[in-house]
Amino acid sequence: MAAIWSDQKKYQCWLEVEIAVDEAWSKLGHIPAADVAKIKKNAKFDVKRIQEIEAVTHHDVIAFTRCVSESLGSERKWVHYGLTSTDVVDTAYGYQLKQVNQILRQDLADFKQIVAKKAVQYKETVMMGRTHGVHAEPTTFGLKLARWYSEINRDIERFEHAAAGVEAGKISGAVGTYANIDPFVEQYVCQKLGIRSQEISSQVLPRDLHAEYLAVLALIATSLEKFATEIRGLQKSETREVEEHFAKGQKGSSAMPHKRNPIGSENICGLARVVRGHMLTAYEDVTLWHERDISHSSAERIILPDTTILIDYMLQRFGRILDTLTVFPENMKRNMGRTFGLIYSGRVLLKLIDKGMTREAAYDLIQPKTAESWDKQVQFRPLLERDPKISSLLSKADLDDAFDYHWHLRHVDDIFQRLGLA
């Protein structure tokens, strides 16, 4: 990924655009084929030489074209013919982003596969579902991961749409009117590079395309942050339902030898903040003066490489975290009992309604029992059994059924089938 954003690669993409432009002009009969052949054979650049020229010109594209021209003879006059700088820069950006997106697409597919594998592996691993951080009802660890799988699918759909937007070029001149160039040139170059031709542009591609792209990457980062935050929460000492792999020789604290911290997930959360910051910059870049200014350019030189490199890293890093995650099913099951059976209060409520009580009456009958169980730290079920009203309505079999966690999980297979997970 970093190589795609290197100066060497950037100028190579610029050169490919310039050569393709001359090929198009030749097909239109404007540039002799022999001159194009010489340009293709002899055109070269040197990054250090470009930097030397730019130190004088203070213009990177002029520095580039002059450097390339130094490697050519009389055919040099056709270099950059009919173009404005951004015809080259933006079209090359689209070409670079196409290559970047191929890597990110594979990263997303690999991560999705890991999530799917783990979801199926832990499909029936029962654990406590929590709302507001408080025990709610039983779920499974696999079902939690299946939600991640669904979210990644949405991330991929959004990514494909946004990627198509930025994999674009424009060769339409200084204000987008094709005043000094034939529209065929744009079509030819973009087709050769495997990117689309933007239907209308100013001197630059419209930056809402890039803002959308950065927003989608920020959503991917936020998904990873959400998943990582879940791991952090489940790795708390008082919970310890999962744990990041702790390598031999790894240290968790300079002061506390016992520490085994979820540093990988914490890293992901921190990097997600950086990516979202770059998204805001991309939004600021949308508004340019008239047909163009360069206020976006300096920002994009940071946010496009940095964001795509970060997403590449985050997907691979968190994929490894999840793939090597230690899961403690026995702790998950034990934690379910820490609230004395209160997690089955909803089932008891429905049982009483089924026996003829109104919802309000049943709720008001049960709630004091839940408070007593929690306040006194005693089991919930015996309190129900000792209540004359409840015991007259609910048999032992009724309560056995109400306090069976399997009831809550009976549709897990159906949910997995909806997602296409085995």
Q: Report the distance separating Cα 398 and Cα 381, nearest Å.
A: 12
Is 132 an annotated catalytic residue?
A: yes
| Phi and psi at residue 140, to the nearest 5° | -130, 155
Secondary structure class of 190 (helix, strand, coil): helix
* Alpha carbon separation from 372 to 62, 236, 337, 381 (Å, rounded): 80, 27, 16, 11
Token look-up 């198009």 returns 24
Token look-up 């989608």 returns 216
Provide the b/e sequence for 251-278 (b: ≥16 CB within 10 Å): eeeeeeeeebbbebbebbbebbebbbeb
Show the tokens assigned to 187: 């079509």
Secondary structure class of 113 (helix, strand, coil): helix
Is 296 an annotated catalytic residue?
A: no
Residue type at 64? Answer: F
| Phi and psi at residue 131, to the nearest 5° | -125, 135
- At CB < 8 A and 24+ separation, what contacts does 54-63 make? 59/85, 61/14, 61/85, 61/88, 61/89
- DSSP symbol at 198: P
Secondary structure class of 237 (helix, strand, coil): coil
- Choice among 58, 74, 132, 237 that is catalytic: 132
Q: Report the distance separating Cα 389 and Cα 399, nearest Å.
A: 14
- Choice among 6, 59, 253, 395 that is catalytic: 253
Q: Which residues are known catalytic residues? A: 132, 253
